[in-house]
Structure 1
């Protein structure tokens, strides 16, 4: 079994599909599924760090059923069970039909270090302002795998963006992340 990380699939999201150069959400989604399934095997584990799709789960549930792997979701601001939404609690059960787990954040051990998983970076955004700052984890010195910023950066200090936009539209393997953390763990000022 391999372990993978990704974020910001944005299924059925016309704006993101256009920004990524696709003529329609259907074309975008088919490409993401193709890239995902060419990378992830059915028995693998995937940590999806949020913004699965746009709108209600029913709009992209069929797309989710096509994806390989046991998928754990760390919710993003576009996901119905994200705790920043007033009605989030009403959507947990439906999303658990498609994901092995659904949570606001998680912690894993990578390269011998505790690493946090959250949709949001500690700081920074792909817009001019830090949105949803009240829902971000505080930077207390741990590495953070995140999404949300799309193509703004790949790494910034101890923040590592696992989103599709900076990873050739594919999930990224645990070993790749471990190597990147190991290579930069003593130089936390670098942004790539």
Structure 2
């Protein structure tokens, strides 16, 4: 079993499909599914760090059924069970039909270090202001894998963006994450 990380698939999202060079969301979604399944095997584990699709789950549930791997979801601001939405509690059960787990954030052990997983970075955004600041984890010195910022950066301080836009529209393998964190040094050496 291999372990993968990704974020920001944005299935059935016209704006993101266009920004990624596709004419329509179905064209975009088919390409992402093809890339995903060429990368991830059925028995692999994937940590999806949010913004699965746009709108209601029913709009892209058929697309989710096509994806290889056991997928754990860290909710993003476009996902119905994201706790920043008033009715998030009503959507947990439906999303658990497609994901092994659904949670707001997680902690994993990577290369002997505790690493946090969240949709949001500690700070920064791909727009002018930091949105959802009350839902962001505080930077207390651990590495953070995240999405949300699309192609605004790949590495920034103790933050590593594992989103589709900086990874050739495919999930990123655990070994690549380990290498990138090693290249950055220990979290304390980032000078933040």
Q: What is the TM-score of this pair, normalised by structure 2?
A: 0.97
- Supply the distance in 2 between the matched residues of 1:149 and 1:29 (Cα, whole angstroms): 19
- Supply the distance in 2 between the matched residues of 1:33 and 1:175 (Cα, whole angstroms): 22
Alignment of 1:166-177 (within 5 A): 166-177=166-177
Secondary structure at 1:108 match in 2: strand
Secondary structure at 1:107 match in 2: strand
Alignment of 1:3-42 (within 5 A): 3-42=3-42
Contact kept? 1:83, 1:104, Cα under 8 Å: yes
- Supply the distance in 2 between the matched residues of 1:44 and 1:123 (Cα, whole angstroms): 30
Cα drift, residue 165 of structure 1: 0.2
> Structure 1 unaligned runs (5+)?
none
Question: 1:43-66: CA deviations, max 9, x gaps?
Answer: 000000000000000000000000
Instruction: Give the equivalent residue in structure 1 for 2:78.
Output: 78
- Supply the distance in 2 between the matched residues of 1:189 and 1:19 (Cα, whole angstroms): 34
Cα drift, residue 126 of structure 1: 0.1
Greater shift, 179-188 or 68-77, is seen at 179-188
Instruction: Give the equivalent residue in structure 2 for 1:105.
Output: 105
- Supply the distance in 1 between the matched residues of 2:180 and 2:21 (Cα, whole angstroms): 28
Cα drift, residue 189 of structure 1: 5.5
Cα drift, residue 183 of structure 1: 1.4
Cα drift, residue 98 of structure 1: 0.2
1:134 is the counterpart of 2:128:
no
Cα drift, residue 95 of structure 1: 0.1
Contact kept? 1:111, 1:179, Cα under 8 Å: no
Question: 1:17-69: CA deviations, max 9, x gaps?
Answer: 00000000000000000000000000000000000000000000000000000
Secondary structure at 2:130 match in 1: coil
Moved over 4 A (4+): none
- Would you say how many aligned residue pairs link Structure 1 and Structure 2? 190
- Supply the distance in 1 between the matched residues of 2:28 and 2:49 (Cα, whole angstroms): 19
Instruction: Give the equivalent residue in structure 2 for 1:188.
Output: 190
Q: What is the TM-score of this pair, normalised by structure 1?
A: 0.97
- Supply the distance in 1 between the matched residues of 2:70 and 2:178 (Cα, whole angstroms): 20
Secondary structure at 2:190 match in 1: coil
Give the aligned CA root-mean-square deviation in angstroms.
1.0
